């Protein structure tokens, strides 16, 4: 890619339009757009409330094969497809997640697409943006402070300090905060206990904000958060601490979707960013449902590969928000096919058609899985300069055998001009009326059976292993009225199995359930099948060392 | 005050003008105002840089007697005086501090003035505002993460983990975080050690942001932060961790002053908010120096009473920024005079002229102290409904004996119409050319002598007591090149002495120095003379319990 200008150079050269103009094109009057600078704005709650009831546009999900170190370009394709749909004359907008700030100072930033398919302002999106994540951090930590404060002043609710489930959060990669003891230093500082910090995107408040339909619903869900348990194991809720009102006040602005634009001046909502393992990994329901009222086509994406991201998008977000996706795009790259076919990262440049064919099994599995939800599928081959014609043809031929089509997309290098074919195919699928969306399992299925259904139907596993304690816990939750909740699987994103090294399309493997957690506010049961890191660390040489403001006042090193 | 509408009711009824209009009146073009909503905006760095070199307006400091539980209304008077100056035809603006978010969920909010002398939007100012404090929190905690990360990866700088001076911060009242052990849980989480959190306003990054003149100066100061020491006691700096560039990037927007408006639609910069004990307690240098280019009169305030706030304003902020105040207003209330005269809070409603006269000693001391800096003084009597004519006259008579004037102000109830007399007097003093500002002590005085000078000249103490270890530390800093720094006293705000219960104007008392700290980035030596709380706790019934969004979408309980 050496011949291409860098993402940041392209983003800096962008000719942005005033955000009020972008909003006006969507029919949002300026008094309902709260600007943050001249290139970002939040849509008012009043406008959103008033827009309910109108006709919905078509909803297009962009998902992907299992990620590999080669990169697949899911966000880039989401942005490109939105631009492509606008290019062929459709009123389209995109909905993507906000970036977590902390990790940008560790390895690399950039959650705004790439090449000529980016959302701008890139710098802001990778820094504080409109402050949503800071608001989530604050609301989360207010609840934490209220818990320890309640105990300090007498613990009327009889919270067992060994069973406090609510940790603190920070939008930072800081391994030193993973496990701490707090309230040390004597009587004035409270009762010492063990706890720790997670990164903000792992907060249940983040998941709640992304699933809530409005401020009232937000407040109710916040109140439903289980902060810990008494000695008799009965739960203590955030509402017992009267925390829900103040948390809602802190999140008032954060609940409103952020409007920005693509490099081609098309509208984009960038709002919310829950973890894709212990949470559902999609942008906010408010952004998506609002976008569907404003545009004829809404292109959105889900986290990780389709086994995790699309499944949760369908079974959690769409189920709960009543969304009915009209088509899905599965992003693949020739390089990723090769890696799935056994090629090492250093050998990716050499043509290897056999490896491509072998790796296609992973793609095929995702295509078939997505169809199980009743959503028609097209494959987008995100073009890299090293791809050969023969390799591309191998992918196309393979996908054709599945009764689907794979379309080469050059949006990274060409912007919307490089993705017209995909845009036309998406329109064809969406207008065909083929879509018959249904979640994978019904609400009233037993929790353990829901897990087994995902494991067998989506992961093609042979069995689910869960200790008696896990099964007892699931049964207890069913008795307490949580049995109707959907499942949020926390599994490695690199494989259909729980072994990150097992690429391709394994079958008959075992899914061991380590632990289950109830996110009663968000409204799902988290099922943990492996080591899940909720607070990242920084690398030996953090990227922060090279981040600075240059003499032209531009930020260097963030991307 | 029962007959008056509440602060929040008045603020909600405010007829705000678009912030672009307020900016235009100051001569700031819209492209140099970055809006945050329609009622807040940041002034661009380019505009500020371009405005340097012009003529400066008059600088007016509003300070106060030692605070009492009766309240004195310093911010209210600052806002009122700004409006009053505009009313009498002067182009005036005010510069005040931003509010800390955390404490609003503990006892009460409201750092935006009161009655008819308020700055709006009040809700935003007491919540996330434009995100400055969140940016400071993040920059501070990035440095903390980099310290532990550096140690984790081999500790090339040989930081002694027992001597890490840099704690973490959160904008929250959370006593459980005052003292913690971090990096627990095994090898992957680092080396266990003791540390803790302070509230964000206590961060040295806050003090640095408020004293830095531009982004380059900010970066240099951030690099100068001492994060800890090696076994040989040599300091390790933030720049050794290459943290300064990334911290500056995180603070880029936070460095720009926030423009808002008063209830009377006059311009106000609200920017920065360092603690007034372990830091200097004034709004940012950037805001004040920029305001002086934009307005003929700039009214600003300092934290606590004049013994702490005005002294630091003069000796730290004005000294370092080259500011020359033209007049000072000392705010007093009849009620506070009575409390200083020995009356209990419950008995304040009854007329008590003797107590007023007795309490005036405190006011007199502050008047004389401020004059020592060569700044002419006027006293503002902030009117309360319970004040009697005779009590007010007693204060006026007393102040006249000092060769100064005390003027009754009714801005709380009447807005600018109630403070015209004070505005005219301020103009008279400022235009008189009387001001001959000079700091209290020269840069090249020995550090211990600087402390003694403040203690004797301002506090009227008999002596300063400091252990050999403290004196040795001060000498060591002098050898290391820090001897030119000013002193930042951390003393109780309730008394000239270090005993908070000793009201009035004590003399001959002892000032014991417990500890000294070097804020090498901010550029001052903190001298601690008592128990200083840098992380507040929440009360038994936190105000958060009553904060919520009502059915009209308005925030209740925050004020």
Partner residue opposite B181 with nearest CB, options A31, A37, A181: A181
Is B125 in the same domain as B142? no
* B408-440 pLDDT, tens digit each: 999 999 999 999 999 999 999 999 999 999 999
Please state, in angstroms and rounded to a whole number, the distance separating the CA atoms of residues A190 and A385: 60
Q: Which residues of B touch A537 (CB under 8 A)?
A: 149, 152, 188
Extract the runs of DSSP E, i.e. beta strands, from A108-257.
113-114, 117-120, 168-170, 180-182, 193-195, 197-199, 226-229, 235-237
* A173-226 pLDDT, tens digit each: 999 999 999 999 999 999 999 999 999 999 999 999 999 999 999 999 999 999
Rg (CA), chain B: 23
CB–CB contact A175 B555 (8 Å): no
**What spatial distance separates the first Cα and last Cα of chain B, rounded to whole Å?**
16
The residue among B484, B475, B470, B478 whose CA lies nearest residue B513 is B470
Three-state DSSP at B471 gives helix
Please answer whether residues A265 and A119 qualify as being in contact, where contact means their C-beta atoms are separated by less than 8 angstroms: no
Does residue A436 lie in a domain region?
Answer: no
Is A40 in the same domain as A88? yes
- On average, the pLDDT of chain A sits at 95
Cis peptide before A225 (omega within 30 of 0): no
pLDDT over 50 at A109, yes or no: yes
A412 is catalytic: yes
Alpha carbon of A178: minimum distance to chain B alpha carbons (Å): 7
Q: Which tokens go with A439? A: 């979640």
- Token pair 């609710």 is found at A157
> DSSP state, A292?
H
Q: H or E segment at B33?
A: strand B33-35
Q: Which tokens go with A483? A: 């049995």
Domain-terminating residue out of B225, B251, B277: B251
Extract the runs of DSSP E, i.e. beta strands, from B52-173.
58-64, 92-96, 113-114, 117-120, 168-170
Is A165 in the same domain as A118? no
Is B174 in the same domain as B220? yes
Interface check for A220 against chain B (CB to CB < 8 A): the answer is: no
Domain of residue B457, CATH code: 3.10.410.10
Low-confidence stretches of chain B (pLDDT < 50) are 1-3
Does residue B208 lie in a domain region?
Answer: yes
* A94-107 pLDDT, tens digit each: 999 999 998 888 88
* A111-159 pLDDT, tens digit each: 688 899 999 998 899 999 999 999 999 999 999 999 999 999 999 999 9
Q: For residue B180, what are the β-bridge partners? A: B195
Partner residue opposite A547 with nearest CB, options B134, B148, B249: B249
Q: Which residues of A touch B249 (CB under 8 A)?
A: 127, 547-549, 555, 558
Neighbours of A180 (CB within 10 A): 24
Q: Which residues of A touch B172 (CB under 8 A)?
A: 138, 141-142, 145
Please state, in angstroms and rounded to a whole number, the distance separating the CA atoms of residues B554 and B54: 43
Does residue B534 lie in a domain region?
Answer: no
Q: For residue A512, what are the β-bridge partners? A: A465
Is A393 in the same domain as A461? no
Q: What is the 3-state secondary structure (H, E, C) of B156-198?
A: CCCCCCCCECCCEEECCCCHHHCCEEECCCCHHHCCCEEECEE
Domain of residue B182, CATH code: 3.30.1510.10
Predicted local distance difference test score (pLDDT) of residue A199: 96
- Token pair 């757009």 is found at A33
For the four alpha carbons of B160, B165, B169 and B174, in that order, the dihedral sign comes to positive
Please answer whether residues B497 and B509 qualify as being in contact, where contact means their C-beta atoms are separated by less than 8 angstroms: yes
Classify residue A194 by burial, with Cβ atoms within 10 Å: 0-12, 13-18, 19+. middle
> What does the CA dihedral B292, B297, B301, B302 come to, rounded to 10 degrees?
50
Q: Give, to the nearest 10 degrees, the angle between helix A215-223 and helix A244-251.
A: 140
Q: How many angstroms separate the Cα of B262 from the Cα of each of A366, B85, B184, B380?
A: 59, 13, 49, 20
Residue length, chain A?
559
Alpha carbon of B18: minimum distance to chain A alpha carbons (Å): 11
Three-state DSSP at B221 gives helix
Is B104 in the same domain as B18? yes
Predicted local distance difference test score (pLDDT) of residue A4: 52
B74 is catalytic: yes
DSSP string, A27-57: T--GGGEEEBTTS-EEEPHHHHHHHTTS---
DSSP string, B503-547: -S---S-EEEE-EEEEETTTTEEEEE-S---SS----SS-GGGG-
Is B226 in the same domain as B270? no
Please state, in angstroms and rounded to a whole number, the distance separating the CA atoms of residues B260 and B125: 10
Classify residue B31 by burial, with Cβ atoms within 10 Å: 0-12, 13-18, 19+. exposed
Please answer whether residues B192 and B222 qualify as being in contact, where contact means their C-beta atoms are separated by less than 8 angstroms: no
Does B71 count as an annotated binding residue?
yes
Please answer whether residues A407 and A341 qualify as being in contact, where contact means their C-beta atoms are separated by less than 8 angstroms: no
Q: Which residues of A touch B142 (CB under 8 A)?
A: 105, 172, 544
Instruction: Note every long-range contact of B472-475, with CB atoms under 8 Å and residues 24 or more positions apart, other chains counting.
Output: B473/B516, B474/B446, B474/B447, B474/B448, B474/B516, B474/B525, B475/B447
- Token pair 């203590």 is found at A236
Does residue A522 lie in a domain region?
Answer: yes
Chosen from A106, A177, A537, A553 to mutate, greatest number of chain B CBs within 10 A: A177
Interface check for B148 against chain A (CB to CB < 8 A): the answer is: yes
Does residue B439 lie in a domain region?
Answer: no
Is B510 in the same domain as B370? no
Is A294 in the same domain as A390? yes
Domain count, chain A: 3
- Token pair 């003393």 is found at B491
Phi, psi of A8 (to 5 degrees): -70, -35
For A37, name the nearest residue in chain B, comparing CA atoms only.
B34
Please answer whether residues A98 and A273 qualify as being in contact, where contact means their C-beta atoms are separated by less than 8 angstroms: yes
Three-state DSSP at B136 gives helix
Strands B258-262 and B267-270: antiparallel
Does residue B78 lie in a domain region?
Answer: yes
Does residue A536 lie in a domain region?
Answer: no
Residue A513, domain extent: 447-529
CB within 8 Å of chain B, chain A residues 80-139: 101, 105, 127-128, 131, 134-135, 137-138
* A258-287 pLDDT, tens digit each: 999 999 999 999 999 999 989 999 999 999
Instruction: Note every long-range contact of A512-515, with CB atoms under 8 Å and residues 24 or more positions apart, other chains counting.
Output: A512/A464, A512/A465, A512/A466, A513/A451, A513/A464, A513/A465, A513/A466, A513/A467, A513/A470, A515/A470
Does residue A123 lie in a domain region?
Answer: yes
Is A155 in the same domain as A279? no
Question: Within 13 Å of residue A308, how many CA atoms lie on the same side as its CB?
Answer: 28
Q: For residue B193, what are the β-bridge partners? A: B182
> DSSP state, B240?
G
A524 is catalytic: no
Domain of residue A358, CATH code: 3.40.50.300
* B309-350 pLDDT, tens digit each: 999 999 999 999 999 999 999 999 999 999 888 899 889 889
Q: For residue A182, what are the β-bridge partners? A: A193
Q: Which tokens go with B37? A: 């909503």
Domain-terminating residue out of A251, A272, A295: A251
**What spatial distance separates the first Cα and last Cα of chain A, rounded to whole Å?**
16
Is A261 in the same domain as A160? no
The set of residues, in sequence order, having a beta carbon less than 8 Å from that of A479 and lying 6+ positions away, is none
- In which region does residue A356 sit, left (phi positive, over 0), alpha (psi from -120 to 50) or beta (all else)? alpha
Is A110 in the same domain as A11? yes
Domain-terminating residue out of B400, B431, B462: B431
Phi, psi of A27 (to 5 degrees): 85, 20
- Token pair 């997640």 is found at A97
Please state, in angstroms and rounded to a whole number, the distance separating the CA atoms of residues B123 and B102: 14
B213 is catalytic: no
Predicted local distance difference test score (pLDDT) of residue A13: 83
Please state, in angstroms and rounded to a whole number, the distance separating the CA atoms of residues A490 and A308: 8
Residue length, chain B?
559
- Catalytic-role residue among B76, B78, B130, B195: B76
* pLDDT (average), residues A310-321: 98
Please answer whether residues B173 and B537 qualify as being in contact, where contact means their C-beta atoms are separated by less than 8 angstroms: yes
> DSSP state, B90?
-
């Amino acid at each position: 890619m050496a011949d291409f200008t860098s993402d940041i150079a392209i983003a800096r050269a962008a000719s942005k339009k005033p955000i009020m103009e972008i909003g006006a094109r969507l029919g949002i009057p300026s008094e309902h757009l709260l600007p943050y600078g001249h290139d970002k704005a939040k849509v008012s709650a009043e406008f959103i409330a008033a827009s309910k009831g109108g006709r919905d546009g078509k909803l297009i999900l962009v998902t992907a094969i299992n990620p590999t170190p080669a990169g697949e370009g899911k966000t880039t394709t989401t942005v490109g497809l939105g631009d492509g749909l606008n290019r062929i004359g459709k009123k389209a907008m995109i909905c993507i997640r906000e970036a977590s700030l902390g990790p940008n100072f560790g390895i690399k930033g950039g959650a705004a697409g790439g090449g000529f398919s980016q959302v701008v302002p890139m710098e802001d999106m990778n820094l504080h943006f409109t402050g949503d994540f800071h608001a989530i951090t604050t609301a989360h930590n207010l609840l934490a402070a209220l818990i320890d404060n309640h105990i300090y002043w007498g613990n009327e609710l009889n919270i067992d300090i060994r069973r406090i489930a609510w940790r603190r959060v920070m939008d930072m990669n800081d391994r030193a905060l993973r496990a701490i003891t707090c309230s040390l230093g004597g009587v004035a500082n409270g009762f010492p206990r063990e706890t720790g910090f997670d990164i903000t995107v792992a907060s249940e408040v983040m998941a709640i904000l992304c699933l809530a339909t409005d401020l009232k619903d937000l407040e109710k869900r916040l109140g439903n958060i289980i902060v810990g348990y008494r000695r008799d194991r009965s739960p203590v809720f955030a509402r017992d601490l009267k925390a829900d009102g103040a948390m809602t006040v802190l999140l008032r602005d954060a609940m409103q979707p952020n409007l920005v634009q693509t490099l081609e001046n098309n509208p984009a909502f960038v709002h919310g960013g829950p973890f894709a393992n212990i949470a559902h990994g999609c942008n906010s329901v408010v952004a998506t449902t609002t976008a569907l009222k404003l545009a004829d086509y809404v292109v959105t994406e889900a986290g990780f590969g389709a086994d995790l991201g699309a499944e949760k998008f369908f079974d959690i977000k769409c189920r709960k928000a009543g969304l009915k996706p009209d088509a899905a795009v599965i992003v693949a790259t020739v390089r990723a096919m090769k890696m799935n076919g056994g090629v090492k990262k250093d050998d990716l440049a050499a043509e290897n058609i056999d490896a491509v064919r072998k790796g296609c099994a992973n793609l095929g599995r995702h295509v078939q899985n997505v169809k199980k939800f009743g959503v028609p599928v097209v494959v987008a081959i995100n073009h890299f300069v090293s791809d050969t014609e023969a390799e591309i043809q191998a992918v196309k031929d393979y996908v054709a055998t599945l009764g689907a089509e794979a379309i080469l997309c050059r949006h990274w290098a060409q912007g919307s001009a490089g993705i017209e074919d995909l845009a036309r195919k998406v329109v064809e699928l969406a207008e065909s009326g083929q879509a018959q969306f249904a979640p994978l399992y019904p609400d009233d299925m037993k929790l353990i059976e829901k897990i087994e259904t995902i494991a067998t139907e989506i992961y093609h596993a042979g069995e689910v292993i869960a200790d008696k304690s896990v099964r007892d816990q699931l049964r207890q939750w069913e008795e307490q009225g949580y049995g109707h909740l959907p499942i949020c699987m926390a599994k490695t994103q690199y494989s259909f199995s729980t072994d990150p090294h097992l690429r391709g399309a394994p079958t008959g493997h075992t899914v061991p359930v380590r632990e289950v957690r109830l996110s009663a506010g968000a409204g799902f049961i988290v099922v943990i099948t492996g080591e899940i890191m909720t607070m990242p660390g920084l690398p030996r040489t953090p990227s922060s060392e090279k981040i600075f403001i240059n003499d032209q006042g531009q930020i260097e090193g963030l991307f």
